[in-house]
Amino acid sequence: MPTLTAATPLPTTDEEIWRYSRIGELDLDRFTPTAADTDVRGGAGIEIDHAATGDALDVIGRLTGDAAPDVFAALNLEHASPTLITVPAGRVVEQPVVVTHMVRGSDEAVFPRLVIDAGADSEITVVEVFTSEPDSTSLVVPVVQIRAGQAARVRYLAVNELGERVWSIGHQQALGERDSQLLVATVALGGDYARVRTDVRLSGAGASAKQVALYFAGGTQMHDFRTIQDHDAPHTHSDLLFKGAVQDHSRSVYTGLIKIREHARGTAAFQTNRNLTLSEGAWAESVPNLEIETNDVKCSHASTVGPIDEEQRFYLESRGVPPSVAERLVVLGFFDEVLSQLPAGDLATDLRARVAAKLSIGDDPR
């Protein structure tokens, strides 16, 4: 069976964008490239193509001239199992399109590649779900590319419900053209080591992007997020809210960069990352960065890492709520700010229940 080989060596944690990662544990030789098992629901009346090749699969590279940003994005292009969703100009797709990848087997490598090409003034919501057999030891290297054409409204949500032995190294790239509105959301509950890098580039004046994420690791899981808010045009607006929690011996990393290019005057960019450490043995890191090349901007970032707020817990306990129940309420309340912004409302209710079920607080009897 052919094993996986990369054209260039794997990165190391010496590179800033891989700092704190578990990249050193990855052995590509172990994996066999396999076609993804993908199911698509919804999207009646629009073109969904699983046979696309070449340039059609690299809408971002075609428009920006940028090469695949790293070895994993390159591997994805080489082995891609494509889903290309093309929304014609002016078309409003009412119901969310749900793309589900089922990861099976042991030591397989799958490369789902989702391309959402939304024409001018179109509107679409796409939910991409990653799920697996519970004991799968496979590797997922997904890429999603989103182009929001002029004044298009595109909402995307990735949901990671992978088993706790699956590795995932994902890349989300979005490009917002003039006056477009992007929502790029991620909910990560699964995976052993699960990394998502998100690059959102606003290339047209008046474009705006909202990025939200909820991540919650337990056991020995690690969630790893890298975000870039790239302002490449004047009067662009980005707002990022990432909230995570770690329990047991799990870990999480968030590093975020706001990049405002010289010609992006009149831009506003905000970045907030908040982390709850729910156990002594859990660890979270948060590293915000700014790179601003012009003066006429409004920019802020905030980041926190810490346990559940003692005042909040005491307030609930003082009403007669037992500590474990109080903590559960506070954690679910903490995530509510993200859940309430997810594009598919029904799904948010379901995800809230999954978060509640995963919380190990209160597993002991009252």
Residues lying near another protein in the complex (CB under 8 A) are found at 310-312, 314-323, 325-326, 329-330, 332-337
Q: How far is CA 283 from CA 275, 286, 355, in A?
A: 10, 10, 18
Q: How far is CA 248 from CA 192, 252, 281, 282, 358, in A?
A: 14, 12, 6, 6, 11
Q: How far is the CB of 242 from another protein (least distance, A)?
A: 16
The nearer residue to another protein, 295 or 318, going by C-beta atoms, is 318
Q: How far is the CB of 267 from another protein (least distance, A)?
A: 28
The nearer residue to another protein, 16 or 315, going by C-beta atoms, is 315
Q: How far is the CB of 241 from another protein (least distance, A)?
A: 12
C-alpha–C-alpha distance, residues 77 and 3, integer Å: 16
Q: How far is the CB of 327 from another protein (least distance, A)?
A: 11
The nearer residue to another protein, 90 or 333, going by C-beta atoms, is 333
Q: How far is the CB of 243 from another protein (least distance, A)?
A: 10
The nearer residue to another protein, 297 or 331, going by C-beta atoms, is 331
Residues 277-288 as b/e (b if ≥16 CB within 10 A, e otherwise) read bbbeebbbbbeb
Token pair recorded at residue 178 = 């003039």
What residue type is assigned to position 85 of the chain? I
Quickly tell me which residue has 């190391």 as its tokens: 12
The nearer residue to another protein, 74 or 321, going by C-beta atoms, is 321
> What residues have CB less than 8 Å from 24, skipping those under 6 apart?
12, 13
The nearer residue to another protein, 65 or 320, going by C-beta atoms, is 320
Token pair recorded at residue 357 = 């079920």
C-alpha–C-alpha distance, residues 98 and 36, integer Å: 15
C-alpha–C-alpha distance, residues 78 and 92, integer Å: 32
What is the SS3 assignment for 313?
helix
The nearer residue to another protein, 157 or 316, going by C-beta atoms, is 316
C-alpha–C-alpha distance, residues 293 and 177, integer Å: 21
Q: How far is the CB of 321 from another protein (least distance, A)?
A: 5
Altogether, the residues listed in the chain come to a count of 366
Q: How far is the CB of 315 from another protein (least distance, A)?
A: 4
Q: How far is the CB of 312 from another protein (least distance, A)?
A: 5
What is the SS3 assignment for 188?
strand
Which of 11, 29, 31 has the alpha carbon at shortest distance from 21?
Answer: 11
What residue type is assigned to position 238 of the chain? S
Quickly tell me which residue has 């790029």 as its tokens: 184
The nearer residue to another protein, 228 or 331, going by C-beta atoms, is 331
